[in-house]
Amino acid sequence: MIKEDIIKRLPYQKPFLFVDGIDAISENGITGYYRFKEDESFYEGHFKDHPITPGVILTECMAQIGLVCLGVFLLKDELSEATKPQIALTSHQMDFYLSVLPNEKVTVISEKEVFRFKKLKCKVKMLNEKGELVCRGTISGMIKV
């Protein structure tokens, strides 16, 4: 399965797709990226005259790249051409260290901890363009094909 096919199978679309590309993927993890565009709707009100990316959106970006893209890859042998898996986030714990501004590109690095009975748990971290740690934590979810 090629990287572009993984992104096409995601159950998201703009404006709620936070995956631009995948740099590397294996049975043990994934590295991908997203650039937060200046015209994203959530910047209008978060925060007034000083927009930053909400933590819930950063968490969603990490879940889409670090959990869902990796899950699609891990289930590649069970997916047909038309299948789009259903994903349910079951838990997450996140620590935030830096803000992400409009037009900033982030990289998500995810390491698989457990994949059993279609439940995936990963350690994830997000880096900014300078390579600084933005946030990190764990994300778990169930994947249904």
Catalytic residue positions?
A: 46
Query: Which residues, including other chains, have CB under 8 Å from residue 84's CB and lie 6 or more apart?
Result: 9, 10, 11
Residue 110: exposure state from Cβ atoms within 10 A (0-12, 13-18, ≥19): buried
Residue 136: C-alpha distances to residues 28, 49, 118 (Å): 17, 27, 23
Within 10 A of 81 (CB to CB), how many other CB atoms are there?
A: 6
End-to-end C-alpha distance for the chain, whole angstroms: 16
DSSP state of 60: H
Peptide bond before residue 117 is cis, with ω within 30 degrees of 0: no
